Structure 1
């Protein structure tokens, strides 16, 4: 594998430093014996400079090693994890500057404390292997952190969306399916076609496929109108923002780089911004928040007004609420459920609150009192007994038993895709505080009233294994983690009490 020049400099500097320490030499001693200046040797060890042939020979003689061994990119066992890191895609494909990290600073950190950083890198790699973390999962985790870092609001993409709307849908014109198809055909030379997943079952999981060599965008014939419009808008986003490095399937089959995942997100963000105009959504939300009472049907009508899917609407909410309303203590999650089964899969999550909420906890059972699950159980019941195929909306005030923190949770459940046989629930969760109450009038209930009109109240927790609500009828596992913690606390107190 060809390494960038700065990585080669760093590898040489790390190796030189390790050899010097193994020989028990100081920087000044090595400089004196090799005939080089102290500052120059220091620059080499920090990976800032790569010496010429004659200077490498001088260093090799001073260290009593042969020339080829010194210039070899093979590192000692102590530094192997750093070598693996530099040879991986991490430093070359992930734009560290997105996270406020200067790549040169990271390289200098590696040079300053290689043994400690090496141990840390090895630890991270072992954790990833232990949890079977794929490259794609790592990329998605990084993308989620990037979204959370920016409160999921990106003015540059919003500006691109505004520019598109001014040019192609002025005066509040609707961005329709016909408009998007026409743009793809006439402006970008892309022809939308449909494929039947029932005759090609291996493609059933895909909603769209772009074949750039034939300029064809294939759409799954089973898509709903809202799903189809979103995919068309997303493809326009790729073209309009000139995002070249991108996946050609949706959902993507394999991520080749973090840039692909990031560009895929940018195009999806763009699609949401042109389909759900920021100004219109802000006006509608302001009206909803100003009402004295909460009604689930009002929220469903709001989704229907924008002729979009619930998931697209929730995503757009997560971009508008922090930036336009100052409501940034929130998190979003999605659960999938197959009717008749007792398991629920957490398939998406995003935390702007950075506090409590469901996360991908391994080998534990999520609290069954969450509205995200009870709404799925309710949907399953009415599907079986009333032939219902619509959408449900429910709200809940949830108070965490261990912290007392309250959240307003708005959850929507509907069939995921008919051919999948699954249902899906999407939930937006808001930390209840003075700021939220000042924005949502219906939250200002009389003192001491636990239930707000149409919003029930429940005490919840994270997982059964960590929960102290011992009389919980929804419990599906013993509080093993909590009991172990209490046993340890008791042991620690007993040890401290010894004379």
Structure 2
């Protein structure tokens, strides 16, 4: 067992025994003859006392020596022991969020009963919603992105450094051929294009990397934009010196949190390399200055880079907060099978706060008035490679409006499957100053809800289910109001 764990457990037990006997650190120091600073170091898990010092504490506190040194914890401290032994504190780099491990342990130790209840609640919720270890890791990365407004200056600088070192012209679209040459010549890659198609079970895997031979296996179905992104991620792993990485795209499973965060870093680097910040910022400024929304110009901007619509929209979530100070935004990725009644929210990001459109795991029906869903239905009926729509979504219940841009494309790996990518910007005074076309009368405004079960819109022609949650809430409020009236009536 790790020495560090033994020290922490002893310190927690000593602190609990001292508190149970209503002793301050000063008081324990006075009656034991051990210095206050020494006792403080023990309780924080920084020092483990020698046997003679343990004997003094045992006699002073009237606790058997064997009980003092035992690693067995009572029910109040048991969840702390489980937390320390679970390795979760080692797997999650708390320093990313400015948290010290000792600080977290201190919080737990100061209110063990309450924290025990909190941890048990979280575990129960996780089990109820089938919240996997991977889901927890991914949620942590999203929180990390949101805490940094999804912009990472050090990675942006690394992209510029790479471009300079390898004479990459960031003023024109990057090609997969340029990156393939670097992977082969600089990093000794072998690239095979026809192996993955031999294995039906691999499904929608785009690539597999074999580290021992530096072999990159690619799926036949990938297009030029996907190939460029995969190459850019491989370059990121090498140029940034990342060894603890994932070997498939998309991922199959994560072993450690480091793999999750490194996957994010590599993806961010790839997006920043393919869609350079200065080029995108300049084109967005042109679009935003116009009095009316120019769809042709926007789509031309999407197509100006050798990137998929998803990569482009992801890159918007980096650039809008940094270059335009537009931080109230969300990103959504939906998937849909033609003819199905279900829409699946597979990826989401919310900057500043949790915006109205967000994932639910309660089998409720997402609002069919969302532009994100409309473009999916449109592309499933049409032969177009790309469907685009813009909408102002008005959430009457929240008194909020969003400018939502949404694109849908076919999934090249699944027959009759489609995906939509959306970015929504909260409409407020700041956005009105940044974007001139917000008052364009041609942009459709639509009253929307979050799910049908919670929606107050009357006579909705696309409603999939009655507003049962909303009705239940209204009923409970009515009961509360009547009880208050009865209290007032019979208390006077």
Provide TM-score, normalisation by structure 2: 0.93
Aligned partner of 1:147 in structure 2 is 145
Inter-partner Cα distance in structure 1 for 2:172 and 2:445: 41
Deviates more, 1:155-164 or 1:430-439: 430-439
Inter-partner Cα distance in structure 2 for 1:233 and 1:4: 42
Structure 2 CA distance for partners of 1:76 and 1:153, relative to 1, 3 Å: same
Structure 2 CA distance for partners of 1:27 and 1:435, relative to 1, 3 Å: closer
Aligned partner of 1:207 in structure 2 is 206
Match of 2:121 among 101, 113, 123: 123
Match of 1:77 among 71, 75, 78: 75
Match of 1:489 among 469, 472, 477: 477
* Structure 1 residue 298 corresponds to structure 2 residue 293: no
Inter-partner Cα distance in structure 1 for 2:348 and 2:172: 33
Matches of residues 222-233 of structure 1 in structure 2 within 5 Å? 222-233=221-232
Q: Is the CA contact 2:204–2:414 (under 8 Å) kept in the aligned structure 1?
A: no
Structure 2 CA distance for partners of 1:407 and 1:254, relative to 1, 3 Å: same
Inter-partner Cα distance in structure 2 for 1:287 and 1:273: 20
Deviation at 1:161, TM superposition (A): 0.4
Matches of residues 408-423 of structure 1 in structure 2 within 5 Å? 408-423=403-418
Inter-partner Cα distance in structure 1 for 2:12 and 2:273: 50
Deviation at 1:117, TM superposition (A): 2.4
* Structure 1 residue 404 corresponds to structure 2 residue 392: no
Could you list the per-position Cα deviations for residues 46-75 of structure 1 after superposition, in whole angstroms to 9, with x for gaps in the alignment? Answer: 334321122123323445554444323221
Deviation at 1:432, TM superposition (A): 1.1
Structure 2 gaps of 5+ residues are: none
CA RMSD of aligned residues (A): 2.1
Inter-partner Cα distance in structure 2 for 1:72 and 1:132: 35
Q: Is the CA contact 2:392–2:444 (under 8 Å) kept in the aligned structure 1?
A: yes
Inter-partner Cα distance in structure 2 for 1:20 and 1:397: 60
Could you list the per-position Cα deviations for residues 328-374 of structure 1 after superposition, in whole angstroms to 9, with x for gaps in the alignment? Answer: 11110010001010000000000014142322222122111100111
Q: Is the CA contact 1:331–1:353 (under 8 Å) kept in the aligned structure 2?
A: no
Inter-partner Cα distance in structure 2 for 1:157 and 1:371: 33
Structure 1 gaps of 5+ residues are: 383-387, 446-451
Inter-partner Cα distance in structure 1 for 2:416 and 2:380: 11
Inter-partner Cα distance in structure 2 for 1:391 and 1:66: 74
Aligned partner of 1:448 in structure 2 is none
Deviation at 1:173, TM superposition (A): 5.4
Q: How many aligned residue pairs are there?
A: 485
* Structure 1 residue 429 corresponds to structure 2 residue 427: no
Aligned partner of 1:184 in structure 2 is 183
Provide TM-score, normalisation by structure 1: 0.92
Could you list the per-position Cα deviations for residues 269-298 of structure 1 after superposition, in whole angstroms to 9, with x for gaps in the alignment? Answer: 101111111111111111111223224333
Aligned partner of 2:385 in structure 1 is 390
Inter-partner Cα distance in structure 2 for 1:270 and 1:409: 26
Q: Is the CA contact 2:392–2:401 (under 8 Å) kept in the aligned structure 1?
A: yes
Deviates more, 1:181-190 or 1:262-271: 181-190
Deviation at 1:178, TM superposition (A): 1.7
Could you list the per-position Cα deviations for residues 112-154 of structure 1 after superposition, in whole angstroms to 9, with x for gaps in the alignment? Answer: 3333323322222222222211111001001001111111000
Aligned partner of 1:467 in structure 2 is 455
Could you list the per-position Cα deviations for residues 439-493 of structure 1 after superposition, in whole angstroms to 9, with x for gaps in the alignment? Answer: 2221134xxxxxx22x211100111121111311211122122112112211111
